[in-house]
Each structure stands twice: as structure tokens, then as C-alpha cells.
Structure 1
Amino acid sequence: MPAKSRFTRLDAFTKTVEDARVRTTSGGIVTIVSLLVMVWLVWGEWADYRRIGVKAELVVDRGRGEKMEIHMNISFPRIPCELLTLDVMDVSGEIQTGVMHGVNKVRLAPESDGGGVIETKALELHKDDATHLAPNYCGECYGAPSPPTASKPGCCNTCDEVRDAYASVSWSFGRGEGVEQCEREHYAEHLDSQRREGCRVEGLIRVNKVVGNFHFAPGKSFSNGNMHVHDLENYFKEEGKHDFTHRIHMLRFGPPLPDSVLARLQGGPGGGSVMGEKMNPLDGTEMVTQDKAFNFMYFVKVVSTAYLPLGWETQGSQKQLDARAASESLSHDSIGLGGLGMGYLGSVETHQYSVTSHKRSLAGGSDAAEGHKERLHARGGIPGVFFSYDISPMKVINREARGKSFSGFLVGVCAVIGGTLTVAAAIDRALYEGGQRVKKLHSG
């Protein structure tokens, strides 16, 4: 038997003789419609193949010895910058000194005058320098021991160093009357001139990625035994109306994600949300009080979050590993402020958080005014705004990925073509046989 005959017997696609084919108008219409449907469905398959989605993964965060940047923009319309103090503390309760930061204090006009910006000055966190004094100058500490942070050992060359010296022995400082350094720096005059002003704190601080807190409170801070306290004399003594009414314009942990990435994350697969309602839920929060002795507390749960763009696995992962190996001996301080967390190919290491809040009067008593008669507040404490943050042991990885592989796209195209032709053939057959039956009825 010839070789051609063997393959002929295996042919699964039998052909009809040209003379036996019947072409109809309805068949032509069905053909055109089926072609249009196939083009539309194939285009949908192509768009689905090109669409980039975000898949969320939850893993254990195994990072060690990392740093974290806290970005903030918070306004206090009823307390002047001269009285406002920012302290950063770690899990041990000790004040973190030498914190890398870029924080500015912005003096705000009184609320009655519109609250406009008066002056912007960089905040020196836990540090005060006096570079304008003579080299051999040694200021008196007025009976208190020189503070360990003094620019010159055994001396108090600035008003803040005298305040630190007083704080070390738990002495009240007041307005600095009779203190040469404070009179030279016009400390009392500054208090008087800013009595009705407000203050906005904006910028970022870089802290160890461990449990800790940062807080805004009035007066100089110091440690008294195992307690962290503030010199509150000027805050309560001032005739001006001071309180810790505040507005959180922005508070985030880590670098921001690009708007295009946020839009994609908020969309989520199938219209859901990968990142939740808000990545930074405290943004836009405003709290109002008329009580000087009032305390606001925010308990923040920080979750490490990574965003890995498409192609990062094949191009960026090895680059990241090489960069990490090369920088293991380098300090995080070698990375400029605001650059921590920005990786290769647009990958971002940042954080999202959840928060619960609590507020109370330092006078104590029940919370009946808030509708909770059963809730009793303790008496005492420091007026201010406190942010306590805890680090979650879990990490969320948002990874870009195509919803369909190229082989999946080809399978979809074949299914579209085959399915459309099969349905079109069935429709054409039904129309043809229906037309033949109608003709027979009319002719019979």
C-alpha cells in the first residue's frame, strides 16, 4: 500500500466535495458575525494577557538590625514652638540621642489671625550648640552639675544647657530670670512673643526598627529615676490659652508608594483592595480639646510591606542580593534621608499600619462625656500627643504579576477560535434546515 494511503486513513479532518457544498445568505452573515466575535474575543484575551495584577503574600519578617523612617506633618495651633518638644524613645524607655532626622518647626500665626506661616527653623533633636561664644567662655550652671550633653565639660554655655542642668537634679526652671545665658538668648522674650502662636512639625526621623514611641509634649524633658518627665511650669503658668488640639496632616512609616502603584493596589484583583481602605489611616485626623491637662495617645501597629514590580524576580533579585552583600558593612546612615527603602527597578520597602487611639484628661474621672460612664481614667501624666508603635513579625509582599502566561494566552486564542466556529456552524446549520423546512411547508 502506498505511503500516501496510510496517512489518508489517519485523516481526522474529512473534506466534502465542492459540488456538494451549499452557500447561503444566512451562512455569509453568520460567517461575518463569527469573525467579528472572534476578533473581539481574541483582543480580550490579549488585553487579559497584558494586564498586570498584584498578588499579596504574607511571610515572616526575618529582617534584623534595620532602620525605619517616620514621616510626619502635624500642626498644633495652640502651643508655640518655643514650648513644644519632640522626644524619641525606644523599647527600653530611654531617649534616643543622635537620631538622624530632618525635622522643621514652623511657627504659625494665632488662629484668630488665620494661622499662617511665620518662620521655619530646623529642629535640633536633643542637641543645642553655641557656636557664637568665645572659645574660652564657660557659663555658670547656677548650683546644678553640668549636664553630660554640654558642649564644654563642666560648663553651661547656653540656656538649654542650664535647663538640662536643672532637669538633671529635678529643679524647676521657669522663665530663666537671672540666668545670664537665657537673658542673652532672650528666652523669656521668645516665650512672650510666641504666647498666642501655634506650631507645625514637619519632616522625618530615622529610628531603629524596634518597639518605641515618639511624643510631643511641652517643656524640657528629662529623666527622674525611672520616669520620663517634662518641665511643665511655663506651659501651665502662661496666661495664653495652650492645649494640644492638633491635626495630623500626614504620618507614614517608610517611603511613599507612587500614585500609579497605589491605584493598582487599591484596585486589587477582581476589583478588591490589596492595601485596604487607607495605607496611612491617621492622615487627616483632627483632635480638639479645651483642656490644658489633656493627653492623646495613638497605638500604632506597623506592618512591613514590600512592593516588587514586574520583572524584579529575573532582574532585580540578584541585584538586590549583590547590593545587600556589598552594603552589610555599611551603616544605614550612609543612605540619605528619604532614600531608605527605595530599591532596584522601582521596588519599595515601606510600611503600612493600623491604629487605635485613646484620650483622657489628666484630672482623671469617668468618661461620661464620651458616652462611657463605666470607663474611669487614671489621674496624672504628661499633657501631649503620644505615638507608641509596635512592629509586627509578619511582612506583606505585594508582587506584580501577569494574570496569564503566554501559553495560557495561546490556549485561550485556540479556545476562542474553535468555540466560535463550532457555535457558528451550529447556528448556520439550524438556519439552513429551518429555511428548508419552511420551503417544504410552502411548496406542500
Structure 2
Amino acid sequence: MGRASRLMRLDAFTKTVEDARIRTSSGGIVTIFSVLVVLFLVIGEWNDYRKVTVISELVVDKARGEQMEIHLNLTFPKIPCELLSLDVMDVSGDLQPSVSHGVAKHRMDKFGTIIESKFMDIHPEHPKHLDPNYCGECYGAIAPDTSTKAGCCQTCDDVREAYASKGWAFGDGTGVHQCEEEGYKEKIKEQAEEGCRIDGHLWVNKVVGNFHIAPGKSFSNAQMHVHDLQNYLQSEVAHDFTHTVNNLAFGPPLPTDLLHERHHQQNPLDGISKKTSDRNYNYLYFLKIVSTSYEHLDGGYTINTHQYSVTSHERSLEGGKDEVHPGTVHARGGIPGVFFSYDISPMKVVNREVRMKSFSGFLTGVCAIIGGTLTVAAALDRGLYEGARRLGKAHQR
């Protein structure tokens, strides 16, 4: 009993007896209103606690020796797949001519309908019209490693590869037995009015470089990168590099909620279309690539990707009037095609998901809401009660 009495003296919440309490209808209304206000404010406090925001910071990109993945999807409605070549090169000296691995070509008719799809890394099988013991001539060139028989040029593509390794122009295959047997010249004429869509992915060194889509087989000649333009320029059908960039991305996409918050898309070239009627026309896109990471709340996962900004330039190679966009430079010469030149920023953007309010902050807010609402409600109820009582006394007089 002594201990209980000592605790009673410490009680800061003294109670009144039930008989001393007075209940009023106005007090009931104030109580209901107070409960609704508390519920509304607590729900708002809970939503604030659950809200996640993204904080961005700029740091030095210390990554070394990495590779970068490029996703591309481009449509060329006025040039057939047979005449297109995709090449990649960078300042480290890495050259990937006529890229094939991971890339597909889709033949399109003049209405844009897909006729045939073929991965560029699928090499033709041994032609059925040839004897199994046949060893095709390479016409002074060196047989490629991709040939179905070592040291021999079994197909028209083998001869084209052999010519490219020597830096020789190939043309339409006239006088080449393999090409005449396969009808290569006829195939070019048959596909002359077709278009092409190229899509797939590339892996490149994370250094300054470029990739381009240009006509004809590419090869090196006197330390220069050149293309065999004979079939392109001498075609009876006027081809050109009208194109649409359906998608061009460096690495996986960022979460859609982050892009929505920033009110822009990750890839500024997506959906861009360019038109020309000049077969000797050159398009250049200068890309500034910035490494970007997205760290999910509580370390759930991290996305490492890249974003980029772009400026563009286009011009005729026949000495016509240039159309230059601000901030770009160019030099005379070159070949028709679409070129993407990219530079790597030394900085990196880190996006982190964080909660704006901690759980202890949420509890503190709830307590403040309840205490503040009850205090205001008690004062309001007291004012209503006293006002009603004084009015009653004045009425009795």
C-alpha cells in the first residue's frame, strides 16, 4: 500500500468521478467532428510517411575498363538490307566492321510490311548447287574464316568478305562464278525497291567512338575506313537515307516513375524521323553519354545504365547548302549514311530513393495531431457549454 500511495502522488492524469461529469449534445457533435479530423490528418501523415522521393547527386565516374551496351532499332524505308552495313569503331583502335552478332535485318516492302527477318550473324550454308568437294576460287583474295571450307570461297558472301579483307571494291558480282550461280545481281535488282529495319544490341568499349550505318561492304584502305558504294550509287532505283530512329538506348531503361517525375524520356532520339531525296546525304548525331545509376529504396536493387543528350547535323555531300544545328561542327567529304558519334562524360548521376519522413517522425506527427485536436476540441466544447449555460440563465431572468 505504501508503494501504491507513492505512485498515486506521481499521477499527472488526475480523474474526476462519473457523477461530476456533464454530457451535452454539443459535446457529442464536437467529439464526432474531432474523430473525423484526427482520422483525416493521420491518413495524410501516413501517406507522407509512405511517400518516396528520388534524390540525385553528381559524382566522378571512377569505373574503368567497362563495356557499354547499345540498343538500336532504326528503319530505312528507301534502301534494301542487302546494301546496308553496320560498323563500330572507337579511339582505342577497336574496329568492328560489318557488325553481325546480336543484330537482325528485317526486309520491308514499300508499304512498310516485314517480308523477311534474318540475324546478320547467320552465315549461309554450303550451297546446294555445289558439289560437296567443290573449292571455290577467291580471285586473288584470301578466303575468310567464316567459309564452310578452309581456304575456299564457297559462296558469294565468302568472295565479298575476301575482297573486303584486301580492300577491293566488289560491285554486283559480275564475273564471279559463285555470285552468278546464286543470282546475286538479280537479287539486288529484285530487292531494289525494298526498305530495311535494323535492330539488336552492340557491346562497345566505354570510350569515345562512333557507329554508323552506311551503304556497301566496309574495309580499310591505307589506314582509312571506306565503303564499297558501287551498288548503291549505280542502282537504277534512287536510294536515300530517309530514316526513323525507333529506339536508341545505352543500357537498360530507368524506372518509368523516375522518368515521369522528371517530365522527359530517357532517350531523346526515340521516334525522330528524317527525310531526304538526295542519295548523297549524310546525317550525324553527336551524343554526350552520362553514366546513371538508380538505387532502389532500402537497397532492394540497383540499375546501372546511361542517359544522353544529342545535337545533330545533316548535309549533302554534293556541295549543296548545309543545314547545321547550333553547337556542331563538320568537315567536307565523307560517305552517305547515318552516323552516331558518342562521347563519355567523366561524371555520373546517382539517383537514390529515400523516404522523406522516418517512422519515429510519423509517430511524433500522429501524437501531435491527436494532442492538438483534442486540445482545440476541449476548448471549443468548453466555449459552447459556457455560452449555452449563460444564455439559459439570462433567459430565466
| 2:218 alignment counterpart | 221
Structure 2 counterpart of 1:265, from 251, 258, 262: 258
Distance 1:434 1:227, change over 3 A: farther
Structure 2 counterpart of 1:301, from 274, 288, 302: 288
Does residue 311 of structure 2 align to residue 356 of structure 1? yes
Give the Cα–Cα distance (whole angstroms) in 1 for the partners of residues 351 and 369 of structure 2: 32
Question: What's the CA shift for 1:215?
Answer: 0.9
Contact 1:101 1:206 in 2 (8 A): no
| 2:76 alignment counterpart | 76
Give the Cα–Cα distance (whole angstroms) in 2 for the partners of residues 393 and 441 of structure 1: 83
| 2:351 alignment counterpart | 398
Give the Cα–Cα distance (whole angstroms) in 2 for the partners of residues 253 and 140 of structure 1: 42
Contact 1:99 1:207 in 2 (8 A): no
Give the Cα–Cα distance (whole angstroms) in 1 for the partners of residues 176 and 284 of structure 2: 35
Contact 1:365 1:377 in 2 (8 A): no
| 1:286 alignment counterpart | 273
How many equivalent residue pairs? 393
Equivalent residues in 2 for 1:358-397, closer than 5 Å: 358-367=313-322, 378-397=331-350
Contact 2:87 2:97 in 1 (8 A): no
Does residue 392 of structure 2 align to residue 434 of structure 1? no
Does residue 169 of structure 2 align to residue 172 of structure 1? yes
Give per-residue Cα distances to partners, 1:306-329, cap 9 Å, x unaligned: 33333426xxxxxxxxxxxxxxxx
Distance 1:64 1:100, change over 3 A: farther
Contact 1:54 1:265 in 2 (8 A): yes
Q: What stretches of structure 2 of length at least 5 have no aligned partner?
A: none
Give per-residue Cα distances to partners, 1:389-423, cap 9 Å, x unaligned: 22222333333333332212211111111111112
Question: What's the CA shift for 1:352?
Answer: 2.2
Give the Cα–Cα distance (whole angstroms) in 2 for the partners of residues 438 and 420 of structure 1: 27
Q: Percent identity?
A: 61
Distance 1:134 1:390, change over 3 A: farther
Question: What's the CA shift for 1:363?
Answer: 2.0
Distance 1:86 1:417, change over 3 A: same
Q: Is 214-223 or 162-171 further displaced after alignment?
A: 162-171
Does residue 137 of structure 2 align to residue 140 of structure 1? yes
Question: What's the CA shift for 1:119?
Answer: 0.7
Letter in 1 for 2:207: V
Question: What's the CA shift for 1:383?
Answer: 0.5
Give the Cα–Cα distance (whole angstroms) in 2 for the partners of residues 297 and 3 of structure 1: 89
Q: Is 163-172 or 381-390 further displaced after alignment?
A: 163-172
Q: Is 48-57 or 101-110 further displaced after alignment?
A: 48-57
Letter in 2 for 1:265: L
Contact 2:292 2:307 in 1 (8 A): yes
Q: What stretches of structure 1 of length at least 5 have no aligned partner?
A: 314-345
Distance 1:172 1:359, change over 3 A: same
Give the Cα–Cα distance (whole angstroms) in 1 for the partners of residues 235 and 99 of structure 2: 31
| 2:181 alignment counterpart | 184
| 1:332 alignment counterpart | none
Question: What's the CA shift for 1:187?
Answer: 1.6
Q: TM-score w.r.t. structure 2 length?
A: 0.86
Contact 1:365 1:379 in 2 (8 A): no
| 1:407 alignment counterpart | 360
Q: Is 200-209 or 299-308 further displaced after alignment?
A: 299-308
Question: What's the CA shift for 1:105?
Answer: 0.5
Question: What's the CA shift for 1:211?
Answer: 2.2
Give the Cα–Cα distance (whole angstroms) in 2 for the partners of residues 134 and 44 of structure 1: 81
Question: What's the CA shift for 1:348?
Answer: 2.8
| 2:242 alignment counterpart | 245
Give the Cα–Cα distance (whole angstroms) in 2 for the partners of residues 32 and 398 of structure 1: 45
Does residue 26 of structure 2 align to residue 26 of structure 1? yes
